[in-house]
A and B are shown apart, each in its own frame.
Chain A
Amino acid sequence: MKKIVLADDDPGIQDAAKLILERAGYEVTLLSNGDSLLEDQQHYPDLFILDKQLSGVDGLDICRHLKAQNRTRNIPIIMFSASPQIGKLARMAGADDFLEKPFKMKELREMVNKYVHGAIDGI
């Protein structure tokens, strides 16, 4: 089972996104605080989904950090935000893609599939 780490400080989004992705067959780990992502881990997921706004650290900083580390630079990152302008900043920080909130369930699953499986292969 492919693993996704999702960091968002809103419990509602965490819960709903987890349900959407679990139904699509992913194992989802939730984080509301991005600090742990700045430390070395034992295991890394197949995809990170990061909100810009996290308690403690800015999601963009985490994105830059992950893309700068040898062990994580090849793991795709999708960034979330309610502000459409963050899209450009997210790409500048190295994110592979950006999803504006509110998003459609279909959009989220298609984007995740694309980066985890390297192609959009239907849901």
Chain B
Amino acid sequence: MEKRNIIIVDSVTGVMNGNLRLLLESAKDYAIFTLDMERRVTSWNAGAELMLGYSEQEILGQSGDIFFVPEDRAKNAPEWETEKASKEGVAENERWHLRKDGSRFYGSGTSRPLYNDKGEQLGFVKIMRDMTEDKRREEALRASEERLRITMESATDYAIMTLDTEGNYTEWSKGAEQIFGFTEPEVLGKHTELIFTPEDREQEEAEKEITTARLKGRAEDERWHMRKDGSRLFMSGVMRPIYNDNVLIGYVKVARNITEQKLLEKKKDDFIGIASHELKTPVTSIKAYVELLQETLEQTEGESPALIQKLNNQVDRLGALIHTLLDTTMIAEGQLELHPETFDINQLLQEIADDMQNISKRHKLVLQREKVSRVKADRERISQVITNIISNAIKYSPAGGEVIITTKDDGNKVQVSVQDQGIGMSANTINNIFDRFYREGNPSIQTFPGIGLGLYIAAEIVKMHGGRIWAESEKGEGATFYFTIPGSPDHTKS
């Protein structure tokens, strides 16, 4: 009580005098006004006029209660405030206030009692700051935090986790609890490696994911993870970095359990694998019988030999289709094995071009080769890549023209390109052209036979070799497909 700040005021008017008054008047960001014991306004600074909308002339002598919203007036808030200030020397509060025009603002204020030099209380001084912006921002932040909390708690199909910059968990959603079996207290502060399989831990996959997220702004991945009980589940997720004022403060990861989908996919791949394998047996005997018949009818007059040849071609087509399906399932299950050898890719291209020139008379296969380009790769699989790309070039240039096959050898890698003068592709198609089962075109305009696996298989084989595959094209302008494979270590020797 004795320590209270005594503010000296004019003993008759209760209004602050002199320098103090001047100082307070110039503080435009603060509303500063004084009230007498009946809470009538006795002085009014420029900040108060700006904040509350009343000029000094119109407000002097009026009750300060009118700055309170009706709800607060009904609760006697003005009396409580001055009473508290008188009793305790200060009353601080934050509340909504009313302007002259009826609009509201959120003000943070302090009321203190005023005394004259005789120690008699003459009124109060109130200093108030407009906190509406801060209040709105705070409310928006709280609402967004609340939304995030609700999302994290209700998205039980998704695991939502946040990590600090070191990769340790800082939040762990209800969904994550359900999916992984760990409770939030069990994981907080632990490294994200916790849910990785031992194989992935060995490969430091968790660190790689964080690095990708930091460098590229996002890291997508699909992999097997481990639950608390050691069982495994397949998750698909995205990690993104979180920045605050351009400073990295951590990461957020959202992931979905797609184990069931993955197992279904495996079942489907297994089924296609078994079915294709079983189809091969009758196709083998049909082909053998057709060729025996062809041999028998070789010298026959009439159309029989030609018909048998056509039959044989169709059987081959069926055989190739089954082969493609089997390759696809093997790729999907990671069973495709490479048997690398060192060979001259130009020689292989020559063999393939000679062979494929027979398919179409309308196309001219042109080879532009560098002298010697030796590669270390699976010759049969690379042959399949080239065949698939050239078949595609022929298929999508129905009007014919040149198909130019070029090799380039920069010492470390060999680049093969196949350029056609066909119908070309849209940018959207280029982005999807190497996807499984992707097929160009609108079937209602023009159809092309095929099941959309040739380029997918080509891309997977190139990737397995550590190479790159891509396409460049514009609609109607033809297309060029490129792929690279590492050169042979001894490729410089000719």
Contacts and interface: CB of A to CB of B under 8 A. Distances in A.
A16 interface: yes
Given A82-B277, A102-B280, A15 B285 contact: yes
Interface stretch (A17-25, A30-38, A64-72): A17-25
Interface string A5-30: 00000101101110110010000000
18 contacts: A12-B281, A12-B284, A13-B285, A16-B285, A16-B289, A19-B292, A23-B295, A82-B277, A85-B330, A85-B337, A101-B284, A102-B284, A103-B287, A104-B287, A105-B288, A105-B292, A105-B295, A106-B291
A47 to B, nearest CB: 18
A19 B292 CA distance: 8
5 residue pairs, one from A and one from B, having the closest CB atoms: A16-B288, A12-B285, A82-B280, A105-B291, A102-B284
B324 to A, nearest CB: 12
B339 to A, nearest CB: 7
A123 B285 CA distance: 21
A102 B337 contact: no
Contacts of B292: 16, 19-20, 23, 105
A13 B337 contact: no
B319 interface: yes
A73 interface: no
Contact of B335 (A12, A82, A85, A102): A85
Interface of B: 277, 280-285, 287-289, 291-292, 295, 315, 319, 326, 330, 335, 337, 339
A86 to B, nearest CB: 11
A83 B273 CA distance: 10
B329 to A, nearest CB: 11
Contacts of A15: 285
Central interface residue in B280, B285, B289, B295, by most chain A CB within 10 Å: B285
Central interface residue in B284, B330, B335, by most chain A CB within 10 Å: B284
B287 A13 contact: no
Nearest to B291: A105
Contacts of B277: 82-83
A79 to B, nearest CB: 14
A10 B284 CA distance: 10
Contacts of B288: 13, 16-17, 19-20, 102, 105
Central interface residue in B280, B287, B288, by most chain A CB within 10 Å: B288
B337 A88 contact: yes
Interface of A: 10, 12-13, 15-17, 19-20, 23, 82-85, 88, 101-106
Contact of A101 (B281, B330, B339): B281
Given A105-B288, A105-B295, A10 B335 contact: no
A29 B9 CA distance: 127
Contacts of A102: 280, 283-284, 287-288, 315, 319
A16 to B, nearest CB: 3
Contacts of B282: 12
A88 B319 CA distance: 21
A16 B339 CA distance: 31
Nearest to A13: B285
A101 B295 contact: no
A101 B289 CA distance: 14
A1 to B, nearest CB: 20
Contacts of B283: 101-102
Contacts of B335: 85
B358 to A, nearest CB: 16
Nearest to B283: A102
A103 B287 CA distance: 8
A82 B281 contact: yes
Contacts of A106: 291
Nearest to B336: A85
B328 to A, nearest CB: 13
A17 B291 CA distance: 11
A102 B284 CA distance: 4
B284 A13 contact: yes
